[in-house]
Chain A
Amino acid sequence: MPRALIDNRPVEVPHGATILDAARLLHIDIPTLCHLKDFAPFTSCMVCLVKIDGKERLAPACATKVVDGMTIESETPEVRRARRVALELLLSEHAGDCSAPCQHVCPAHMNINEMLRLIAAKEFHRAAEVVKRDIPFPATLGRICPELCEKGCRRADLDGAVSICRLKRFVGDTDLATHHPYLPAKADPTGKRIAIIGAGPTGLSAAWFLALAGHAVDIYDARSHVGGALRSDISPALLPVEILDAETALLPRLGVNFILNKKLSSTTEAHSAEITLPDLQSHYDAILMALGPIDPATLRTFGLETLGKGIKIERDTFRTNLPRVYAAGAIVTPYRYAVRAVADGHAAAKSIDASLRCAEREPAQFSMRLGALPKVELVVLAEQASSEPRTPTVPDRDLTVEQAIKEASRCIQCGCSKGDDCLLRHYSTQYEVNSNHYRGERRPLERINTHPDILYEPGKCISCGRCVAIASRAGELWGLSMTRRGFAVKVLPSLGRSLQAALQKSAPDVIAACPTAALAWRRKI
């Protein structure tokens, strides 16, 4: 039986086995997009390239048979680079966004597509779940947010952006009106204790996410009430106190402890109405400073390094120069929008949580962004959305249920349905690709809507051939074919048939095998 070395590890394989088979025996992960178990290799994606000693060109592991005495390297810089180039070339053809532009523009990166889809389906409670994954206080923010998301809405170029902000407020208000506002499930207690100084939007947001992660959270504030700038800087006509109270009241239900009327002091001797940093450092595993804007000279009296108008932090981790002390929000960089404070609090919470669990830093998830689209492509995307124009809104009058459903149905759902399930995105994240490297002509943006259950988006296809092979082996009468050639190659039902006729028995297998969202189930609630 042939013997080989992969990354200096010996392996013996049956005759006819490929380098990919051998690597899998050694639990070496070689990325593949077009390889399909128990099918002959198609060798199209070329993401599985490896280096064989003595050969000038790299070889596709899925199709190269192991020869006795072969020495193979699967993780050299040359190999990793080539795989990244293959991914970047595939992405340069790709006609699809991983997330909709509204989600990118939103500082909190809320999954707006999903919220709107659930509202349109009258699933308001599930919509609240989606919103609270990223925005803990939707009714509050829905009254003060400057609708940054709507500036990114693609529908704006057709007949007016979707009223995302008002719809989020609708979700928040509806949730509060149930008198059992949605509270996510908490993780198991970690035994770690965290002190947050400042009960404003940043601190409250960080408290929410840290408590959900299972940590014990105490929030300190010099004032006698909770809310910080949300209470003191915003007129009650705009943000009624009852709304802010009702939403912040969820925090104690998550186990968050408020310690009010306690001022942070820089002196070593603090009296009972004061706390000091050294004191907190000795009692807590981590401290988050979220007091809002403070004069840098004052900050320095605490021993903190400053930068510009605020505390100097390590950008990715939110750490200050003091051990176990983090900072986020306007105390770092003054800004205008509460939603940014909320987003900052969330990001700081993630960093603190990761460091307390000693978790390794994961690479930032890759996101494909097409940018602005020509009108003709927007019309294609909007085909299945409601064609109603934007619902006119009145500042003091809430949306009715009918209005909310009607407006939410206008969303053209330009984000991808397989955002978390896509193999191409998974490897693009792993190999830290730059999708702008090879910008040029891409596939046309297209949605084939003829099948009741399946959405076919040829623009997202990577020509891997899996669907063609599966349909063929299943004995489909028509099946799918690779049509045309070269850059214009396109998978279509054979001989002009409909997708339904082409996939009469193998649709579930084909959809499960598609490595992107080219062939995917329609999103149904």
Chain B
Amino acid sequence: MECIRRGGLIEVPMGITIHQIVHEIGGGVTPGRTFKAVQIGGPSGGCVPASLAQTPVDYESLAAVGAIMGSGGLVVLDDRDCMVDIARYFLSFTQAESCGKCTFCRVGTKRMLEILTRLTEGKGRPNDLDTLEQLAHDVHSGSLCGLGQTAPNPVLSTLKYFREEYEAHLRGHCPAGKCRALIHYRITDTCNGCTRCAVACPVGAIPFTPYQLHTIDQSKCTKCDVCVQSCPLNCVVVESGPVVAIHEEATA
């Protein structure tokens, strides 16, 4: 998130498109990244994928694509933003704010959050997506107030437009490289052994080996990203998928 070049408070006429806001006014996303989606309406809102960027910003058009205007908050997301994590983030907010009176919101949002948390930790179970989707509809239908009725929106809209991302998480893969349990950092062989990453690493996960290819000890790595930022040759990459599989590929 926070990848839009020119963020801030804008006043625009109704009917302006998402594309115009993101690219003409906002200046697009950080160079090197790809615009993925916008989240409109905060925790009660929904996401609109880049493919629907021609959608005009007005009440009916947004409702037609599964989003809401809300209070006018618009968050721009790029390829390094994980839609499953976004849904989890918003649901953690609504779940904490639930007053606890009605069954569907009190327990339903908690269960949805548990499923989303499991997915981001790579502990998803085979029927989690169906349970999550059905529960989202039930919570929307059975909740007493607007909080419970709209809490499932981020879940339902991300499931609608980015289901393959959810399915990747079931397989232990975070395509955006965001979910910590599902990613690992790796130094590629363009490394020249300058040792800057070893010096910068706050937990000592990179042994100091001057002039040699540096390696990251996965058992110590906290995925803080400092090595990526310290490397002058951009040879630290973030990869997703079980670490075991990567090693098997390397030795094959």
In the complex, which of the residues B102, B104, B110, B149 contacts A487, with contact meaning CB atoms closer than 8 Å? B110
Q: Does A269 contact B (CB under 8 A)?
A: no
Tell me if A57 and B106 are in contact (CB < 8 A).
no
A46, A56, A437: the one contacting B103 at CB < 8 Å is A46
> Is B108 among interface residues, defined by CB-CB distance under 8 A?
yes
Return chain A residues, CB-CB under 8 Å to B138. 82, 85
**Known: A485-B98, A486-B98, A487-B100. Contact between A438 and B141, CB under 8 A?**
no
Which residues on B sit within 8 Å (CB–CB) of A485?
A: 98-100
Helix, strand, loop or mixed for chain B's interface? Answer: helix
Of B104, B106, B107, B138, most A-chain CB atoms within 10 Å: B107
The answer for the CA separation of A446 and B96 in the assembled complex, in Å, is 23
The answer to whether B111 touches A89, judged by C-beta atoms less than 8 angstroms apart, is yes
Contact pick for A486, options B97, B114, B135, B140, CB 8 Å: B97
By a CB distance below 8 angstroms, the chain A residues around B142 are: 46, 49, 57-58, 82, 85-86
* Segment 33-89 of A: residues with Cβ below 8 Å from B: 42-47, 49, 56-58, 60, 82, 85-86, 89
> When the two chains form their complex, are residues A57 and B141 in contact, meaning their CB atoms are under 8 A apart?
yes
Q: Could you tell me the distance in whole angstroms from the C-beta of A118 to the nearest C-beta in chain B? A: 37
B141 contact set on A, CB distance < 8 A: 56-58, 82
Interface residues of B in 108-124 (CB under 8 A from A): 108, 110-111, 114
Known: A85-B138, A85-B142. A93 touches B99 (CB 8 A): no
Tell me the total A-B contact number using a CB cutoff of 8 A: 81
Is A448 interfacial (CB-CB < 8 Å)? no
The contact of B107 among A42, A58, A90, A484, by CB within 8 Å, is A90
**Is B237 positioned at the interface, with any CB of A under 8 Å from its CB?**
no
Q: Does A44 lie within 8 Å of B111, measured CB to CB? A: no
Which of B97, B98, B110 is in CB contact (< 8 Å) with A440? B110
Interface size class on chain B is 20 to 34
- Interface bin, chain A: 20 to 34
A437 → B minimal CB distance (Å): 8
A89 to B148, CA, bound (A): 14
**Which residue of chain A has the shortest Cβ distance to B100 in the bound complex?**
A489
In the assembled complex, B203 has its CB within 8 A of some CB on chain A:
no
Most buried by B among A42, A438, A482: A438
Decide if B140 touches A438 in the complex (CB within 8 Å).
no
A185 within 8 A of B: no
Q: How far is the CA of A47 from the CA of B100 in the complex (A)?
A: 16
Give chain A residues whose Cβ lies under 8 Å from the Cβ of B114.
440-441
- Of the candidates B95, B100, B101, B103, the one having the most CB atoms from chain A within 10 angstroms of its own CB is B103
Decide: A463 and B101 in contact? CB cutoff 8 A: yes
Chain A residues contacting B101 (CB-CB under 8 Å) are 42-44, 463, 489
**With the chains together, A162 CA to B113 CA distance in Å?**
40
Q: A: which residues have CB within 8 A of B? A: 42-47, 49, 56-58, 60, 82, 85-86, 89-90, 92-93, 437-438, 440-441, 462-463, 482, 484-489
Give 7 nearest A-B pairs by CB, closest first.
Answer: A489-B100, A89-B107, A486-B98, A486-B100, A440-B114, A46-B103, A57-B141
Q: Which residues of B contact A (CB under 8 A)?
A: 95-104, 106-108, 110-111, 114, 131, 135, 138, 140-142, 144, 149
7 residue pairs from A and B, CB less than 8 Å apart? A438-B135, A440-B110, A441-B110, A485-B99, A487-B95, A487-B107, A489-B99
